[in-house]
Amino acid sequence: MEKIWLEHYDPRVPAEIDPDHYSSIVDIFEQSVKKYAENTSFINMGHSIKFAELDRLSTQFAAYLQDAGLQKGDPVAIMMPNIIQYPVAMFGILRAGMSVVNVNPLYTTRELKHQLNDSNAKAIVIIENFACTLAEVVKDTPVKKVLLTQIADMLPAPKRWLMNFAVKHIKKMVPDFDIANAESFIGALKQGAGLTYTRPEITSDDIAFLQYTGGTTGVSKGAMLTHRNMVANLEQVSTILETVIEPGKELVVTALPLYHIFALQGNCLTFVKFGCPSLLITNPRDMAGFVKEMASHPFTVLTGVNTLFNGLLNTPGFSELDFTNFKFALGGGMAVQRPVAEKWEKVTGKVLLEGYGLTECSPVVTVNPPQLESYKGSIGMPVSSTDIKLCDDDGNEVEPGEPGEMYVKGPQVMKGYLNRPEATDEIIHDGWLATGDIATVDEQGYFYIVDRKKDMILVSGFNVFPNEVEEVAAMHDDVVEVAAIGVPNEASGEAVKLFAVRKSESLSEKDLINHCRQHLTGYKVPKFVEFRDELPKTNVGKILRKELRG
């Protein structure tokens, strides 16, 4: 496809970026912490740390990991919400030349065990609140070193003591667990202070992140995102943001979890590069507390998903916030709904920009320019150095204006799925990555998502793969066969609906949902169950989810 969008780029945005401008994420990090040493890097629960402190602490953790016998390239998992320990651990792992394995803290034992085994994680940094899940499976994984942290460990005393005591003993938010030889993350940092850090040679082809996703089908797979992939995408995003933000002068609100690729790249890495502070929201579900936090800081940028924006708009006090310094909000992860975007613009006075990406693309593929005057329902134009083509089912490019499956080519496209060459070959052909999304493009080069080819369900920006839900539901003794689909949901964009054939009529909707809840993270649990005598199938017996969607 001809790159018609280049004619409509802001003149300050180049057609191409240099993906080798920096040798690694560590290269960018080291330059930033030196240049912006006295600037605030992260703010959380009323406490902030400067870039100089982030530099020191991450160096200490890198030295600890190297001394602990881990090798360059070893995968190290992080299982934490948005707290300051996350960036300290993440940059420490990267500086040690190791790969970060991001883990959702809400994972069940089944999900956690799979990811730790599949990634071959040698160590894990985990918040105590979720250590009970790890305790059940750690013996059956390659993990040799467990580092525990409490939620307030990075806060100054006496606030640290009081908050940790309250979380553990008053709110009872830390279930009992027993993990032999577990160590303290704070202890590891102190130990690292007395050790010598040796900067390893990190190449652009080294894996920076093993970011887990279902891909197009089935079990969760580790997308191998190299330093070059991440640097390229960071450069692609930076060229657009440079037209509107001032290095060292912005404050980004980070409510999306840092273990999610959108916040990891769009908030953490991007704003570290620009020397700007990130306000970490540990529990964005507490909308009243979230708005209170925003009221305490002169925020300029906010990223989120449609459900987050909608939630804020419906929270008392949000419309009274001071939006004087606010520059833009960026929505991704799921479709931004027009009513939400229009209300957002009315309340904040700024356009809600929409972008599009996927884990396999590190993640940004397209984005609307910050200069956009009003919401247009588009996912934007491709970022620099990115090719997109729209194809029919036979792989032929469609005529202009016609819908087709979107294929992406660029330096941000992943190396492949870890240890899954066949799955990689299914999604990447001659460097082109098949997104599974059906799109159209207008005469200016703005793309629009019109449908999803793959069966993946999108709940509040998180991928839910029907195969996984079906597998768990089928584990119930009274289930004969089952199929999962996504249905429209006002709150989360889509919700999971289960169709099941049961052996016994004693099996209720509530029973099956409770069964799924024991084995699946909350957002994957079906909201609706419909029992049927039989499910529609092809002549070879494959269940037709398409017919169930109607």
Q: What is the per-residue pLDDT across 479-505, written as a single tens digit (0 to 9) for each?
A: 988 999 999 998 899 999 999 999 999
Strands (DSSP E) contained in 233-376 are 252-254, 278-280, 301-304, 328-331, 352-357, 364-367
**pLDDT (tens digit, 9 = 90+) per residue, 48-58?**
999 999 999 99
**pLDDT (tens digit, 9 = 90+) per residue, 414-444?**
999 999 999 999 999 999 999 999 999 999 9
DSSP label of 316:
T
The per-residue pLDDT for 214 is 63
The per-residue pLDDT for 541 is 59
Helices 306-313 + 287-295 axis angle, to 10: 80
DSSP label of 138:
G
The whole-number average pLDDT for the span 525-548 is: 85
Instruction: Determine how β-strand 301-304 pairs with β-strand 252-254.
Output: parallel
**pLDDT (tens digit, 9 = 90+) per residue, 328-370?**
999 988 778 788 899 999 999 999 999 999 999 999 999 999 9
Report residue 474's pLDDT band, with 50, 70 and 90 as the boundaries: confident
Supply 248's token pair: 């060292």
- Report d(CA 454, CA 459) in Å as an integer: 15
Cα dihedral value 130, 134, 135, 138, nearest 10: -170
Residue type, 497: K
Q: Spell out the residues 6+ positions from residue 541 whose beta carbon is closer than 8 angstroms to its own.
A: none
How high does pLDDT run on average in the chain? 94
- Report d(CA 81, CA 106) in Å as an integer: 9
- Report d(CA 342, CA 308) in Å as an integer: 15
The per-residue pLDDT for 163 is 98
Nearest 5°: phi and psi at 346?
-70, -40
DSSP label of 543:
B
The per-residue pLDDT for 216 is 45
**pLDDT (tens digit, 9 = 90+) per residue, 197-234?**
999 999 999 999 999 986 445 678 999 999 999 999 99
Cβ pair 116, 70 in contact under 8 A: no
Q: Residue 451: is its pLDDT beyond 90?
A: no
- Report d(CA 204, CA 359) in Å as an integer: 18
Cα–Cα distances in angstroms (integers) from residue 424 to residues 177, 359, 371, 429, in the given order: 38, 13, 37, 9
- Report d(CA 246, CA 533) in Å as an integer: 61
Residues pairing with 438 in the sheet: 405, 451
Helices 185-193 + 51-67 axis angle, to 10: 90
**pLDDT (tens digit, 9 = 90+) per residue, 83-108?**
999 999 999 999 999 999 999 999 99
The per-residue pLDDT for 542 is 66
**pLDDT (tens digit, 9 = 90+) per residue, 371-409?**
999 888 999 999 999 999 999 989 999 998 899 999 999
Q: Residue 277: is its pLDDT beyond 70?
A: yes
Q: Which domains does the chain have, with CATH numbers?
A: 25-202 (3.40.50.980), 354-451 (2.30.38.10), 457-549 (3.30.300.30)
- Report d(CA 350, CA 346) in Å as an integer: 8
- Report d(CA 530, CA 482) in Å as an integer: 10
- Report d(CA 278, CA 453) in Å as an integer: 36
Cβ pair 469, 520 in contact under 8 A: yes
CA atoms within 13 A on the CB side of 490: 2
Q: How many CB atoms lie within 10 A of CB 193?
A: 13
Residue type, 487: V
Rg (CA), the chain: 23
Cβ pair 226, 207 in contact under 8 A: yes
- Report d(CA 104, CA 84) in Å as an integer: 16
Report residue 538's pLDDT band, with 50, 70 and 90 as the boundaries: low
Helices 85-95 + 185-193 axis angle, to 10: 50
**pLDDT (tens digit, 9 = 90+) per residue, 282-317?**
999 999 999 999 999 999 999 998 889 989 999 999
The whole-number average pLDDT for the span 243-250 is: 97
The whole-number average pLDDT for the span 233-258 is: 97
Cα dihedral value 127, 132, 133, 139, nearest 10: 100
Cβ pair 460, 334 in contact under 8 A: yes
What percent of the chain has a predicted confidence (pLDDT) above 70? 98
- Report d(CA 453, CA 401) in Å as an integer: 18
What percent of the chain has a predicted confidence (pLDDT) above 90? 85
